[in-house]
């Protein structure tokens, strides 16, 4: 699977939308905002701007949750390249985001931003 996505990544370099992303949020919550800023930084550092991002606020469009099977908020959906990938959480664990988006091949700044508590379990209760 990994090889396949890598190959498709290379071949799609010449075409316009290399990466098509959709971020589902529910209102302007701190977590949503954190997810958005984390995503923008990751994309800037690892994707060289060749991506499309669509932010969907489910508070405004609740019916859209059904289509992409959204349960967790925030959820980042990678529609292209296939297969579809879902990444949930505030995207604070950059390593995992890169694994999830299959961008591990262009590994450059993995040492960055791995310190903040990615699994803030107790805080939720």
User: From the CB of 17, what's the least distance to another protein, in Å?
Assistant: 21
Say how far residue 101 (Cα) sits from the centre of its chain.
6
- Alpha-carbon distance of 29 to 7, in angstroms, equals 37
Beta bridge partners of 80: 20
Q: Residue 105 gets which letter from DSSP? A: G
Give the x/- contact pattern for another protein in 51-90, rule: CB under 8 A: -------xx--xx-xx--xxxxxxx-------xxxxxxxx
- Alpha-carbon distance of 11 to 35, in angstroms, equals 29
User: From the CB of 104, what's the least distance to another protein, in Å?
Assistant: 12
- Options 11-19, 23-31, 44-52, 104-112: segment touching another protein (CB under 8 A): 23-31
- Alpha-carbon distance of 99 to 101, in angstroms, equals 6
Task: Note whether 5 binds another protein by CB under 8 A.
Answer: no
Contact with another protein (CB under 8 A): which of 9, 47, 79, 96?
96
Closest listed residue to residue 103, CA positions, set 23, 5, 12: 5
* Interaction site with another protein (CB under 8 A): 24, 26, 31, 34-35, 38, 58-59, 62-63, 65-66, 69-75, 83-93, 96-97, 99-100, 118-125
């Amino acid at each position: 699977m990994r090889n396949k996505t890598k190959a498709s990544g290379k071949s799609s370099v010449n075409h316009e939308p290399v990466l098509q992303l959709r971020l589902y949020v529910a209102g302007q919550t701190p977590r949503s905002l954190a997810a958005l800023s984390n995503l923008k930084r990751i994309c800037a550092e690892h994707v060289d701007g060749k991506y499309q991002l669509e932010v969907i606020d489910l508070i405004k469009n609740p019916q859209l949750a059904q289509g992409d099977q959204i349960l967790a908020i925030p959820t980042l959906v990678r529609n292209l390249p296939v297969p579809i990938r879902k990444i949930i959480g505030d995207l604070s664990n950059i390593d995992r985001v890169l694994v999830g988006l299959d961008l591990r091949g262009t590994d450059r700044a993995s040492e960055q931003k791995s310190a903040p508590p990615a699994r803030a379990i107790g805080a939720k209760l």
